[in-house]
Each structure stands twice: as C-alpha cells, then as structure tokens.
Chain A
C-alpha cells in the first residue's frame, strides 16, 4: 500500500471537492427533481417527464440548454458588475453549506462562531441581488433590487433574533454542539426524544421559517420579482447562463436554509442519544456517519416541502404589508421570545 502524506490544505481541498461531488451534487439533483415534481403535482400537471426516467436528469438538461443561450448584456449596463452579480449570489450559497454538520465526523468544518458565520454569509446574497438590480440600468430591475434589499434587511432581523433563542438554550454557537445539545438533552427530565428545539422554541422556529421564506423571496414575499408588476425584478435583463445561476441559487439556498433550520430546530443529523445509550460525541457509533446525512436529508426534504407548499398556497403580499409584518409583528415577537427564553433559562 502506498503511503503518502497530504498536507492539511490538500486534505481540506479533497474534503470539500469530494463532499461537493459525492454528496451535494446528487443531493441537489434529487432535491431539484423533487421540488419540480411537487410543484407540478400541486398545479395538477406532470412536470418534467422527458429528460431521463421520470424526468430525473432534468437539472442536467436545464444546464445543457441554458449553456447554449445567448448572454445579452444591455448596452447601458455596468458590464463588469452586471456579470459579477450572479457569481456573488452563488458564492453566498456555497459558503452557507460549509458549516452544516452532517454527522458526528461527517462535516466540512466546524467552528465556534458557526451561527454567526451562517447569518453573516447568508446576507451576502443581498449584495449580489442589489448590484444586479442596479447595474442593469433598467427601471424594473432597479425597483426589484431596491425592494429585495429592503425586504431582505427587514427579514434578516427576525431571523437573527429567532436564532438567539436557540443559542440561549444550547449555550453555544457551534452548529455541531447545537445538534449534540438537542439529541443529548432532556425535556423536564425525560430524554426519550432528546430536546429538539422545535418543541421548546416553537415561536422561534415559526419566526425563523417565515424569515427564511422572505429571505428566499418565495411567494408570499416575492415582491422583488413580482412578475405582474416588475416583469422579473432584478433578473429582468439577465439571460442565458447567468439567469440560470440566479435561478439555481434560489433553489439551492432553499435547500441549504432547510438544512440549517433542521440543525437549529429539528435535531440535525442526530437521533435521541438515549436510545442507544450514547453520552458524548466519542461514544456515538460510527454508522451514524452514514445514517446521519440521510436523516438530515429527510428533514431537509420535509422543510423544503413546507417552504414550497406555502409558496404555492398563498398570494403575494403588498410592499407595505410586507414591511409592516416584519417590523411590527415579527421583530417585537422575537424580542419577547428572547427575553422569555432567557428568564426560563435562568430560572431553571
């Protein structure tokens, strides 16, 4: 057997590329098909059927098709920034995946500022959207971009504040430790279910999911791309592959936010540790590294389904209703939630 030592930077590249190719790509393909089929069935149609068996190769067909489309940059547009914007949105999505833990040893990286990092990186996509709207030199795009910025910053706050409740309960911002806390925890001395924070932090979970819906600009909150008012908002002038990058980033971010929500509120990759008598990370059996990602995947599917279900069930808000809802309902509610959680934490 050949033994060779790979330096740490090499190992981390292998880990990232291997994980991306072996796990994220197939997962993305499956989720993409799942979403398309689900949407189609909700609208009483068949959805993709031609590409591969049961339309399973739809993602590759889309990429192949959009690669051949002409990429039109408007004459008046700010060319460099216009071309850069979709990549910024894509980078934001990729960076989000980095901190999500998939199993006791199956993670890309974990650090103590995990939650903070996640919140910070998720707001980078706002920049991409804002400059996409601005650089297009189109009135629809500009309005769409401004609306997106206004909406994303308004819903960023409830999201941040909802997560504080989880951080208070877990006493850590490391996403891996949050998973361990939930599955190793107990509710009122009973550890049969661990302590998934969806039960003890239900308000936080509700606020978080609403904010995620808005951050993704999915339908009740899709004023930035409102097709009946703004053609396609900040994406109006985009064509060809750059348009597809926005489009795919939107779906990918829905998946990644579902992963994060399942880590924060549904117990992530874990099953209640009391079932198998595990007490710490080291005592967890190795097979969890295989089962863990599958559990995560299942939870993610559930949450993505929830997001899309809401998307296809509700009409669009008006711009003023949207802002009012964020500032006058969600933010006060999540502030009160923080204080109540803190009082309970100190009292017990």
Chain B
C-alpha cells in the first residue's frame, strides 16, 4: 500500500471504531431496555396535542437561496487553499490574481445583499 493510502487507513479505522462503538452500545441497549410501544407514545410530539396535518411540510425558499450562496463560496475555498500554500512561490503575481478573484466574489456578495437575498424576512 502506498504511503498516501496508509495515512488514510487510520482515518478508516476511526470511522469503523465509531460505527462499531455506536453499534455495540445500541446493541447492549436493545438487549436490556424495555419495549412497550403504544399509540400515545408513537405519535409525533406536538406540545401534547394530536399532530395536525403531515410532519413533512413544505418550507420556505430562503434556505435554498442560502444553500446556493454557500456553494459559491465553498467552491471558492477549494481554489483559495492551494493558492494559500503556494503564496511564497507565486509572490506578487499570485497576490494580484487572488485579489481580483476575491474582489469579484465580494461583488457577488454585495449584489446578493442589494437584492435583499440576505434579509431573513
């Protein structure tokens, strides 16, 4: 196995450990906990009254808009990290390039701001 993959093997074990540990504890719990379901217990909790309508209701579009904005900035992060490491190498050239990039992004944020997308009402 290459060194690169070896480093990530530990990550895999950590994930496996979390699943095994969680599964083990849940298994123990399943063995010793009581299980007496009844109708009252199994309906959704809505402050003590019987639930009205369906639990999976439609919700507002603004979460979607924020998610879109997030994608824009998160993709930017993908570009900005390699640049941050190599800044010494690129010097002034890299600085100017990233300055333009960040400026354009800021323009986008300002545009969204002016459009009122960032307002939560």
> Which residue numbers of A lie inside 8 Å of B, CB to CB?
8-9, 12-13, 15-17, 20, 63, 66-76, 86-87, 90-91, 93-95, 97-99, 108-111, 115-117, 119, 134, 136-143, 146, 149-150, 153-154, 156-157, 160-161, 164, 167-168, 171-173, 231, 236-237, 240-242, 245, 319-320, 323-324, 327-328, 331-332, 335, 338-339, 342-343, 345-346
Contact = CB atoms under 8 A, between A and B. Distances in A.
11 contacts: A91-B22, A94-B17, A95-B14, A98-B10, A137-B44, A146-B63, A160-B77, A240-B33, A323-B118, A345-B87, A345-B88
Contacts of A335: 102, 105-106
B36 A70 contact: yes
B92 to A, nearest CB: 6
B46 A140 contact: yes
Given A68-B32, A71-B33, A138-B55, A153 B67 contact: yes
Contacts of B26: 241-242
Nearest to A245: B22
Given A76-B55, A156-B70, A331-B109, 20 more contacts: A16-B10, A67-B32, A70-B33, A74-B43, A75-B42, A76-B43, A91-B19, A98-B10, A138-B44, A140-B46, A143-B59, A146-B59, A146-B63, A153-B67, A157-B73, A164-B84, A231-B45, A236-B45, A338-B84, A346-B92
Interface string B22-56: 11011011101111110001111111000100111
Closest 4 CB pairs of A and B: A320-B120, A137-B55, A94-B18, A109-B10
Contacts, number: 208
A108 B113 CA distance: 44
Contact of A67 (B23, B29, B87, B92): B29
B3 to A, nearest CB: 9
A30 B44 CA distance: 37
Interface of B: 1, 4, 6-11, 13-15, 17-19, 21-23, 25-26, 28-30, 32-37, 41-47, 51, 54-57, 59, 63, 66-67, 69-70, 73-74, 77, 80-81, 84-85, 87-88, 91-92, 94-95, 98-99, 102, 105-106, 109, 113, 118-121
Contacts of B42: 72-75
A94 B17 CA distance: 8
B56 A137 contact: yes
